[in-house]
Amino acid sequence: MDFNTVRWFHEYGIVHMNLQPDHIVLTEPLHSSSSNFKIINFSKAAYVPDLVKYRNLSFNESVWFTPEALLVMAKHGKVEQDIRSLGRILHALMTGFYAVDREAVELHMPNRGLFDAHALDLLAKVGPPPLGPEEGDPKVMSMDEICNHPWLAGPPAKSKPLMISLKRERNASREK
């Protein structure tokens, strides 16, 4: 998934508020050189004017929102919520299970042998507790920090192919 997409709509003042695997659509096969992700279902999204770095000149927020609605969205539209959701999605990609609470995360830990140190570092910084920071912890990374993290911005990771690694693990457990 391209984390820059989430950063992009934050720069236009939009906080999704409901990021989850069901709201990410792959438009091309993963092995394709043009794999593309789309984020859908903005039904819970908030427009937060304080986040706006870029604005479409034809957009007039007073046409779309009442002053009261803008106050409510500014209060509840938190970038941290999207970042924590991205952490849960990252955890799901690393474990194959989308965990929504601490107990589920504790039951589904990533296989550290499958991922390089950068991937595990990113999970520790944005992942769901107990792998990542607790709710309200000021150590949660910003979207810029996430997008510039070595695992996302660096050269392609030298990871083991997942299917081969899983087959080897299964075979090893059968031999015991």
Q: What is the pLDDT of residue 136?
A: 82
Amino acid at position 82, single letter: D
Label each residue of 27-94 as H, E or C.
Answer: CCCCCCCCCCEEECCCCCCEECHHHCCCCCCCCCHHHHCCHHHHHHHHHHCCHHHHHHHHHHHHHHHH
The pLDDT assigned to 125 comes to 94
* Encoded tokens for 40: 């859908």
Residue 97: what pLDDT? 94
Q: Which pLDDT does position 35 carry in this prediction?
A: 62
Q: What is the CATH number of the domain that holds 32?
A: 1.10.510.10
What's the pTM value of the predicted model, to 2 decimals? 0.81
Q: For the chain, which residues score pLDDT lower than 50?
A: 163-166
The residues that bridge with 24 in the sheet, in sequence order, are 39
123: three-class secondary structure by DSSP: helix
3-class DSSP assignment, residue 20 = coil
Residue 142 structural domain: 3-175
> Across the strands, what pairs with 122?
none
**How many domains does the chain fold into?**
1
**Residue 154 pLDDT:** 78
Could you give the CA distance from residue 123 to residue 62 in angstroms, rounded to a whole number? 39
- Quick: pLDDT tens for 125-140: 999 999 999 988 887 8
Q: Are 39 and 14 in contact (CB under 8 A)?
A: no
pLDDT value for 174: 60
* DSSP reduced 3-state for 17: coil
